[in-house]
Structure 1
Amino acid sequence: MSPRRVLAGSALALVLPASLLLGLPSHSATESAEGGAASASLRTTATQWVHLQALPQIVQQGARVASPDAAKAAITATIRPVEAGRKVRLEVERDSHWESVATVRQNAKGRAQFAAPATSSGRPLTYRVRAAAFEGLEAITSDTVSTARWLSPTWTDEFTGSALSPTWHHRGQHFDVKSLRRCSRGDPKAVEVGDGAVRLSVMKDRSQTTRCKVRVRDEFAGRYAHRLNGHIGTEGAFSFKYGIAAARMKFHRTRGQHGSFWMQAVGGMYPGGTGHEIDVIEYFGDNHRKGGLTTFIHRYEGSRVVKTGARITDIRSFLRNKRDGWSKNYHVFSVEWTPQTLIFRIDGKETTRISGGISSVPQFPILSLLSSDYEIPKMKGRQLPQHMYVDWIRVWETGS
């Protein structure tokens, strides 16, 4: 490595956010390019830098089920200084020359986000970006990244056939006051596999002959029909530590329940433990006054559970067009989990980032459509059943 490169790297530490520095490869950007298979690269000059990252195939909006192998890879360029509106062009290497793929503008957070093919004729692709000259800044071309790292997922379920694979089991099959589900419980009747997807439902519990007394914030809120929830997880059969997990989902319509893709720690969450509940995505129904999409983690700090995360704002910016919707089409919801950071995305676009105090134990995936006590009064029983669909789920474990 040249002395100039070392000096640039030292100076860069003064301006790069710690979360980004921690996520970069330990080798230099030059070595990444020479290796030809790095999924992240860093190019620096005296006045600007470009961090480029190739992510797995986590972009696939659409109305119908589709193969995860047909999804597009997410390519993200983070550029400093931030110059919102600066044009950034994605290029792909073909036959030793570079072809333009797409051009977008840098957003207010300094990112340029692309969706691009992961392969050509079954082979990985190499990408770079070029940021145009802009208001006194010279044009800059990134070092390259490759999609090769992500072409062999650790685990996939495409929900083919007519039954769940043995990896899944049904969860929460008893009424549980502590979990705020005194009036609902998980049941295999609320889970159905067919037409290339798993359907998770909330439906009336016909085994109950009386109506449930719903309490919200310790106050009586009315009597409602008991409900069955679709609630499945891979505890004891599949878990992973660090990497990227993604699920392609189409949510329910009506408020009164929430659909989720989440993870829990192997061995549970307890005081002194480092495992979390990681809510990759939760959706609370169409026409929610605050948008209805949230991302949170729950973890112990000392003897108490703390909640970190956010309600996703400007949710329409993650939809393809005005006709798109969370209950109308499938979208891919994912989390990138490293020892330092959790990064949440919708179709490859970042929504939320949480750093520090991150889970360091294996976690297992969960899919659910749950009607918690506080939600039940928001929907009449005649509006049941409600359905959520999951086309596929994938995990790319990195181990670090």
Structure 2
Amino acid sequence: MLSSRKKFAQKVCLTASLLLATSGVVAVLQSAAPASPVPAAAAPATVARQALRPISIVPGVVGPGAKPHNANTTKWAVTTKYGAAKAGKTVKLQRQSGASWVVVAKSKIDKRGYALFAVASPSRTSPVTYRIYGPGGATASASTSLWGSDEDWTEQFSGTALNSAYWSHRQTDYEPLSRRTCAKASPRAVKVSQGTAKLSVIIDKSRSGYCKPPKVSNPAKIYGKFRWRLQANIGTDDKHSFLYGVAAARIKFQPLQGQHASFWLQPDDPDTSRTTGHEIDAIEWFGKGVPNGGLTSFAYAPSRLGKKYGIGNKGWVPNPDQFLMNQTDEWYKRYHVFSVEWSPLAYIFRIDGKETGRIPASKITGNGALGTASTPEYPILSILCSDYELAKLPDPEEKHLPQTMSVDWVKTWQNPAFITPDPPVTAAP
């Protein structure tokens, strides 16, 4: 949990990364020698007379690939948005060097109008300042020092067992009221090895017979007859939470429908879930072959029986294939970093640094209150079997189970702008 000695500022100016974070085409920094420096004062006069285009730096959210890797080396995103009319235009990433700007990478604005560069994870003691030079001149600048505090938290799943100092198993009973009649969470469905956590749905061999979940629309009828299952549901409640910042997880999903895998947040204090806490679904995956592409991002405000808010078309990530590495990539073949940036202004959802959608605070009116969640929340990883989706797993069940999501790492970055330092301790007279 957050230290009880830390208190969060209620009113504080937002950093540029929270106010106007956007994303687009990934351009990894080149290892070649940088181009000639550009004088810091070289921006056109027309730019100087108007507000500079905003830029965002988002920590550790760019990391597609086939194998696990260290969370602390995952690339950061430097990004801005131009608009679709500028698609195809060249943009340059510039790093400040004294009074000059050095070009360190080039890319093109993508079809959606975004420019995004993936940069190496910086040192806390040696921050880097970047800007993007493109149509209309240079953007505003931003420093990697916007991120990094003692409240940042990383889980890399080292060892051969789930770290009980970080994680607890959630909802280990059957939950018919939640429409999960046939499966319950179990430690047997979670394995840790080779730097990854493997969360699975498996047959519960300790139970004989079949589960017959009733349909919601007509309880006299059933969805079918299914083997009893064990599922995975782990969270850091009472162990780690944060308020405002970025939560990210590098995940390779299960291939099939019949269960859905998720990375999400819930309020640390159950009482706040009825008021200021939200359920924040950074990503949900429903399996290949789903008509809308299989990926969703939502917020429920407040989290307990709250109104459902989603990105895109009712929460579905629009055209999700555009966020894959190439035509041979699939969400169940390679790892991808799924993240949510949470501030008082919005929830911003990303895949490998590319923005998939956002939910502005101005749109959230749950329980008569405006805005995003304003209480500490904790990360959750799960792969769950809802009654309505059980029949979507092909027969025979024994042949197609287990279905497994592999999690390389989970990390949260607390935004330092929302931490008030402890007051100095004064010795007693």
Q: TM-score range by the shorter chain?
A: 0.7 to 0.9
Partner of 1:258: 260
Q: Which amino acid aligns with 2:104?
A: V
Number of residue pairs matched by the alignment: 359
- The structure-2 alpha-carbon separation of the partners of 1:371 and 1:81, relative to structure 1 and needing over 3 Å to count, comes to closer
Partner of 2:368: none
Distance 1:76 1:386 in 2: 35
Which runs of no fewer than 5 residues in structure 1 stay unpaired? 1-17, 26-42, 133-138
Report the 3-state secondary structure (helix = DSSP H, G, I; strand = E; otherwise coil) of the residue aligned with 1:222: coil
Partner of 1:90: 93
Partner of 1:227: 229
CA drift at 1:105: 3.1
Question: CA-to-partner distance for each residue in 1:59-114, whole Å, 9 max, x for gaps?
Answer: 11111110012211101113479633332211224576543333333346543122
CA drift at 1:167: 1.3
Distance 2:273 2:378 in 1: 19
Q: 1:389 aligns with which of 406, 410, 424?
A: 406
Q: Which amino acid aligns with 2:261?
A: G
Q: Which amino acid aligns with 2:321?
A: R
Partner of 2:19: 23
Distance 1:337 1:141 in 2: 27
Partner of 2:189: 190
Distance 2:76 2:18 in 1: 23
Q: Which amino acid aligns with 1:143?
A: A
8 Å Cα contact 2:260-2:385 kept in structure 1? yes
8 Å Cα contact 1:49-1:79 kept in structure 2? no
Report the 3-state secondary structure (helix = DSSP H, G, I; strand = E; otherwise coil) of the residue aligned with 1:316: helix
Report the 3-state secondary structure (helix = DSSP H, G, I; strand = E; otherwise coil) of the residue aligned with 2:146: helix
CA drift at 1:287: 2.2
Partner of 2:382: 368
Partner of 2:152: 154
8 Å Cα contact 2:253-2:406 kept in structure 1? yes
Report the 3-state secondary structure (helix = DSSP H, G, I; strand = E; otherwise coil) of the residue aligned with 2:405: strand
Distance 1:220 1:19 in 2: 52
Q: Which amino acid aligns with 1:206?
A: K
Report the 3-state secondary structure (helix = DSSP H, G, I; strand = E; otherwise coil) of the residue aligned with 2:347: strand
Distance 2:264 2:273 in 1: 20
- The structure-2 alpha-carbon separation of the partners of 1:160 and 1:269, relative to structure 1 and needing over 3 Å to count, comes to same
CA drift at 1:130: 0.6
Q: Which amino acid aligns with 2:401?
A: L
Matches within 5 A, 1:226-305: 226-268=228-270, 273-300=275-302, 305=306
CA drift at 1:244: 0.6
Report the 3-state secondary structure (helix = DSSP H, G, I; strand = E; otherwise coil) of the residue aligned with 2:65: coil
- The structure-2 alpha-carbon separation of the partners of 1:329 and 1:269, relative to structure 1 and needing over 3 Å to count, comes to farther
Distance 1:190 1:272 in 2: 30
CA drift at 1:306: 1.0
8 Å Cα contact 1:269-1:276 kept in structure 2? no
CA drift at 1:214: 2.4
Higher RCO structure, 1 or 2 (CA under 8 Å, sep 6+): 2
RMSD, matched Cα: 2.8
Partner of 1:204: 203
Partner of 1:346: 351
Distance 2:208 2:288 in 1: 31
Distance 1:325 1:240 in 2: 31
- The structure-2 alpha-carbon separation of the partners of 1:19 and 1:300, relative to structure 1 and needing over 3 Å to count, comes to farther
Partner of 2:425: none
Q: Which amino acid aligns with 1:58?
A: V
Question: CA-to-partner distance for each residue in 1:339-391, whole Å, 9 max, x for gaps?
Answer: 12110111111111111221111111100011111111111312100110111
Matches within 5 A, 1:34-73: 45-46=48-49, 49-73=52-76
- The structure-2 alpha-carbon separation of the partners of 1:325 and 1:80, relative to structure 1 and needing over 3 Å to count, comes to closer
8 Å Cα contact 1:215-1:374 kept in structure 2? no
Distance 1:237 1:209 in 2: 36
Q: Which amino acid aligns with 1:184?
A: A
Distance 1:321 1:121 in 2: 33
Q: Which amino acid aligns with 2:158?
A: T
Partner of 2:11: none
Partner of 2:77: 74
Q: 1:355 aligns with which of 357, 360, 363?
A: 360
- TM-score with structure 1 setting the length: 0.82
1:113 and 2:116 correspond: yes
User: Bigger shift: 380-389 or 210-219?
Assistant: 210-219
Distance 2:130 2:335 in 1: 27
CA drift at 1:142: 2.2
Distance 1:288 1:305 in 2: 26
Partner of 1:34: none
8 Å Cα contact 2:17-2:58 kept in structure 1? no
- The structure-2 alpha-carbon separation of the partners of 1:44 and 1:187, relative to structure 1 and needing over 3 Å to count, comes to farther
Per residue, is there more strand in 1 or in 2? Answer: 1
8 Å Cα contact 2:338-2:351 kept in structure 1? yes
Distance 2:277 2:111 in 1: 33
8 Å Cα contact 2:18-2:341 kept in structure 1? no
Q: Which amino acid aligns with 1:211?
A: Y
Report the 3-state secondary structure (helix = DSSP H, G, I; strand = E; otherwise coil) of the residue aligned with 2:322: helix
- TM-score with structure 2 setting the length: 0.77
